[in-house]
Amino acid sequence: MKIALITGITGQDGSYLAELLLEKGYMVHGVKRRASSFNTQRIDHIYQDQHEAHVNFKLHYGDLTDSTNVIRIIQEVKPDEIYNLGAMSHVKVSFDSPEYVANVDGIGTLRILEAVRILGLENKTRIYQASTSELYGGLAENKNERGFYDEHSPFYPRSPYGVAKIYGFWITKNYREAYDIFACNGILFNHESPRRGETFVTRKITMATAAIALGEQECLYLGNLDAQRDWGHAKDYVEAMWRILQQDVAEDYVIAMGETTYVRDFVKMSFAEVGINIEFRGQGVDEKGYVASCSNPDYQIEIGKQVIAVDPQYFRPTEVDLLIGDPTKSKTKLGWVPQYDLAGLVREMMASDLDYVKREKMLNEVKSSIRY
């Protein structure tokens, strides 16, 4: 039985990866940070059944800023595979906490690599490092001849998050070459799901769309509507992570869909799932979205109502306008074939968030009806 260790297991990617590895018969160990409130909702369905169906699942308290803790966990688990998904991954917030993101996302990667080296596990343990499309910085001149970012495109990070991740990328590559550790970078472009955090733009959009359709929210405020992203489904991307560590030779791979979409169009697609057609007017900070029509009788929304606005507080100090990845290598060498397209992703996220908002609305109505 293979043993896997996942940092960041309580996150979107960690939860999907844990499910995938358990299905493949792994013993899965996860690292979670200690918090005063429960933050395991994405893996509760696994953790609660650990004495029954999933006896091959165990959680450890840990933190990538604590070297002794990292060494202790790896020494105890002796994993065949480590998936380092733990990170402070919100790009906008990284501008507010640059030192913290450097410590976790950059030096945290070094701590894992060095722990494997110190413990003499170079020939046993394979390491996956979660790199990011934010390494590229969106510079047009750095794309390949086909107009994409690939494994050979130069890096130019435009945020503290991207800068920290570039250290993680290069230290992973350095330990691979210096100590012959099987360590790989997966340069993942944006990947979303119903488990995405609510402060990330895609989930913020689908949550607000559901709430607006159900009369629970008046307006959705966003930042740069002209930003373009290469969006895929996290469930597809974690399979690529696993495939990377099953290769004979350690290499780095771009994982992407190879298509780019404006934030504005993601908004339109989300509202279209509930039968609402959005029309945008204006430019820049004055751009607004209005309800042009509604074909779904279940949602009583006023035609002409403004439901989208731009708020400059959501702009980044240095903006990345365009990201699009070239998945040629991952598809040919890994045999990776995504099961979701963007339309399928939006459909799944909207269905999930409609259910969520309906449950919350019902719960609030019950609470308001109770007399104390």
Catalytic positions: 132, 134, 161
Per-residue CA distances from 132 to 183, 313, 349 (Å): 16, 24, 22
Q: Which of 189, 191, 163 lies closest to 94 in space, CA to CA?
A: 163
Q: Which of 73, 66, 96, 82 lies closest to 21 in space, CA to CA?
A: 82
Alpha helix segments (H runs only) across the chain: 12-23, 44-47, 67-77, 91-94, 98-101, 108-118, 160-179, 201-213, 234-244, 263-272, 328-333, 342-369
Say if CB 60 and CB 32 are below 8 A apart.
yes
How far apart CA 116 and CA 166 sit, in angstroms, is 20
Alpha helix segments (H runs only) across 78-144: 91-94, 98-101, 108-118
Largest Cα–Cα separation, the chain: 68
DSSP state of 37: S
21-58 residues labelled b (16+ CB within 10 A) or e (exposed): bbeeebbbbbbbbeeeeeebebbeebbeeeeeebebbe
